[in-house]
């Protein structure tokens, strides 16, 4: 079971800090406009799969679509809105608004197209995560879930975005063996996270503030931890906001298309064929050039 400690002095915590879980690498990603790409399937996604992609940033108010309508297959995407609001729509027929603290889950499965744009006059701070799907789901039906802020479970300083933490379970129907949290700490607070059994993949990306784990990290950094089951101990040097993912290692190769990630070439071909079929329908409807 996960365990959390959030107080300034504790013998057990101090003992763990003496033998901290080590960081394998730290990256600041690369920028394209207001967005920072921290992980891609062709680079660090190979290290932390099933997590294969992570974008973060602050999008200015605009009626222009964030990325343009585009397809996926073989993966699921999770957009976590940390401030502001976005609108989205997809070819499952779903559309809606994701407010501050809300989540939009798109399980692409065998193929889907989707799009979104910033709502209102407030910049949108967000993380968008991709996770690979297991063979029994990678070419399945697409599914969209919009989770309101009040539906996201909270345990202490952690909001449970995917999976379960202590006794709280995310309402998102994600593959088993994945935990994804949004954590906020005040300056001086300490927090311990014990991953679920066999979740040896672990990483964290800082949204705001700075921390020592025990290496110093600042806003914009993504740290990947060694693949062990050791706890992760965080000390907030400033008011802190970060996302943290742990998972059972995805045991399959990453077979890549332009917008797709599958476990084998046949599954990729099937997904790309479905994407093309949906694309033809969108062109006929005037949605694509």
* Model pLDDT for residues 102-142, shown as the tens digit of each residue: 999 999 999 999 998 899 899 999 999 999 999 999 999 99
- Candidates 244, 18, 259, 251; CA nearest to 127 is 244
**pLDDT tens, position by position, 186-242:** 999 999 999 999 999 999 999 999 999 888 999 999 999 999 989 999 999 999 999
**Bond prior to 50 in cis (omega within 30° of 0):** yes
Q: What kind of fold does domain 11-284 have according to CATH?
A: Jelly Rolls (2.60.120)
Q: Give CA angle at 133 (197, 281), nearest 5°.
A: 160
Does residue 66 register a pLDDT over 90? no
Domain ranges of the chain: 11-284
Count other C-beta atoms under 10 Å from residue 277's C-beta.
Answer: 10
pLDDT at residue 7 above 60?
Answer: no
| Nearest to 216, CA basis, from 240, 192, 246 | 240
Residue among 59, 179, 196 nearest 131 (CA): 179
State the pTM of this model.
Answer: 0.92
Of 2-11, 68-77, 259-268, where does mean pLDDT reach its minimum? Answer: 2-11
Question: Are the beta carbons of 163 and 170 closer than 8 angstroms?
Answer: yes
Phi and psi at residue 16, to the nearest 5°: -65, -40
């Amino acid at each position: 079971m996960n365990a959390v400690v959030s107080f300034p002095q504790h013998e057990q915590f101090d003992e763990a800090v003496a033998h901290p879980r080590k960081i394998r690498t730290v990256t600041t990603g690369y920028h394209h406009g207001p967005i920072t790409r921290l992980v891609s399937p062709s680079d660090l996604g190979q290290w932390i799969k099933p997590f294969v992609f992570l974008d973060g940033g602050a999008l200015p108010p605009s009626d222009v679509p964030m990325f343009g309508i585009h397809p996926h297959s073989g993966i699921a995407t999770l957009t976590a809105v940390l401030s502001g609001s976005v609108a989205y729509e997809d070819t499952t027929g779903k559309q809606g608004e994701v407010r501050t603290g809300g989540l939009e889950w798109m399980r692409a499965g065998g193929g889907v197209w989707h799009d979104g744009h910033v709502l209102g006059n407030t910049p949108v701070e967000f993380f968008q995560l991709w996770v690979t799907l297991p063979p029994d789901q990678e070419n399945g039906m697409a599914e969209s879930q919009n989770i309101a802020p009040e539906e996201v479970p909270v345990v202490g300083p952690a909001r449970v975005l995917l999976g379960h933490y202590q006794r709280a379970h995310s309402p998102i129907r994600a593959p088993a063996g994945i935990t994804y949290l949004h954590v906020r700490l005040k300056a001086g607070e300490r927090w311990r996270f014990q991953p679920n059994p066999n979740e040896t993949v672990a990483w964290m990306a800082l949204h705001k503030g700075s921390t020592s784990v025990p290496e110093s990290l600042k806003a914009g950094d993504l740290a990947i931890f060694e693949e062990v089951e050791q706890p992760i101990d965080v000390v907030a040097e400033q008011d802190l906001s970060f996302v943290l993912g742990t998972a059972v290692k995805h045991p399959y190769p990453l077979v890549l298309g332009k917008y797709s990630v599958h476990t084998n070439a046949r599954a990729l071909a099937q997904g790309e064929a479905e994407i093309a079929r949906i694309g033809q329908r969108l062109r006929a409807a005037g949605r694509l050039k």
